[in-house]
Structure formats: structure tokens, C-alpha cells
Amino acid sequence: MQIEKPFSQACENNKRAILSVLERTFANCRQVLEIGSGTGQHAVFLAEHLPHLIWHTSDQPHYHEGIAAWLSDSNAENIKPPIAFTVGQDDFPSLDVDSIFTANTAHIMQKEEAKLLMELVALHLPQGGIFCQYGPFTHSGKFTSESNQAFHTSLLARGYGGYRDINELTAWAGELSLQDIIDMPANNHMLIWQKR
């Protein structure tokens, strides 16, 4: 029996904008770990368009069936099946990666999980490794739009951690240096970090 593929409209809307950034930032990378692969849509689209990369998916186990359904419909041979990885519970995936990508995870995590994520990425990336972090963030405590502030409030009401501030992430980043903050559609940003 075939599993119905999960679908995120947000993924569909932002995948091309994300690709346009990763084509540049991951141009010299070989293996990427995606933290929080979610539906699997990003992994399939991005891996198909970045064939020079081996794309490792990861997420909490209850997402794996959906990710696998997307992978099984793809002809790309550079996508790896999902690894069980919950920040704060599982060991960091034991992979030889030179880049890490995550989308829309920091505002779902609790503050201490987001802090741990930054610390783990800084610890496990090799020198010169790239971390691309996509999503909505505040900057010096300021929201980029009223809709973002409303979304943050709704996240807190539902028990999520809410928006993280770029200054906060920088303070947790250790050996990761923030190279660029790229404005993305729908009041999102791509933060480009590199390990010193």
C-alpha cells in the first residue's frame, strides 16, 4: 500500500528561492545534512537540482514515512533515506558532511533546543563548512512584519519556542561566523554561517 505523500504549501512556495541561494553557497560542497526534513519536499527538489551533492535527510521518526514516500517517487540517486535525529535526544548523525541545511526549525524548537542545535552544528562541521539556516527570525528584537509578530504569538500559544533573534543565534554559534543574511520571500531570511 502506497503512503500518501505529505504536502507543505510553504515548501512549494519557497523551494526555488532557497535553491537560488544554495546553488551559490553549496557550489563547492559535497555532502549535506538536512536537519528537519519535514515532508521531504525540499530534499527531493534541492537534491534533484544540486546533483553534485549527496543529500542526507533527517528528522524525528514520525516524519520518516512521509519523507520516504517523496524519496521513492524521485529518480535522484543522491538522496539518502532519513536518519532519526531529534535535537536534545539523539546523538548528532555520524556523517562526513561539509555542509548543513535546515529550514523552518528554529522557531518550532524550544529556546534550549535551538541553542543546542547551534552548538552541535558548530561542533560537527569541519573547518570551512557551511551552515544554511532558513526561516523567520527577529533582528535586534524587531520583527520584519506585523504578520511575523502575529505568527510568533501563535507559536508561543501552541507551545512552540517562537522566533529566535539573529543576535541570540550568533551568541550561541561558537566557531560559526555569520557570513550573510539574505532577505527571502514572505519575510523570511537565509542565514549563511561558516565554521572558522
Average pLDDT over residues 77-95: 97
pLDDT digits (tens, 9 = 90+) for 128-183: 999 999 999 999 999 999 999 999 999 999 999 999 999 999 999 999 999 999 99
pLDDT at 1 over 80: no
Average pLDDT over residues 54-74: 97
User: Residue 120: which H helix or E strand, with range?
Assistant: helix 111-124
Which tops the pLDDT comparison, 59 or 4?
59
Q: How many residues does the chain have?
A: 196
Give residue 99's pLDDT: 98
pLDDT digits (tens, 9 = 90+) for 8-55: 999 999 999 999 999 999 999 999 999 999 999 999 999 999 999 999
Give residue 3's pLDDT: 74
Q: How confident is the model at residue 4 (pLDDT cuts 50, 70, 90)?
A: confident
Please report, for the chain, the start and end positions of each structural domain, with discontinuous segments joined by +: 9-195
Q: How confident is the model at residue 5 (pLDDT cuts 50, 70, 90)?
A: very high
The burial of 174, by beta-carbon neighbours within 10 Å (0-12 exposed, 13-18 middle, 19 or more buried), is given as middle
Structural contact between residues 163 and 137, judged by C-beta atoms closer than 8 angstroms: yes
Q: What is the CATH number of domain 9-195?
A: 3.40.50.150
User: Residue 49: which H helix or E strand, with range?
Assistant: helix 41-49
- Is the sign of the CA dihedral 53, 185, 112, 141 positive or negative? positive
Structural contact between residues 192 and 178, judged by C-beta atoms closer than 8 angstroms: yes
pLDDT at 2 over 80: no
pLDDT at 84 over 80: yes
Give residue 100's pLDDT: 98
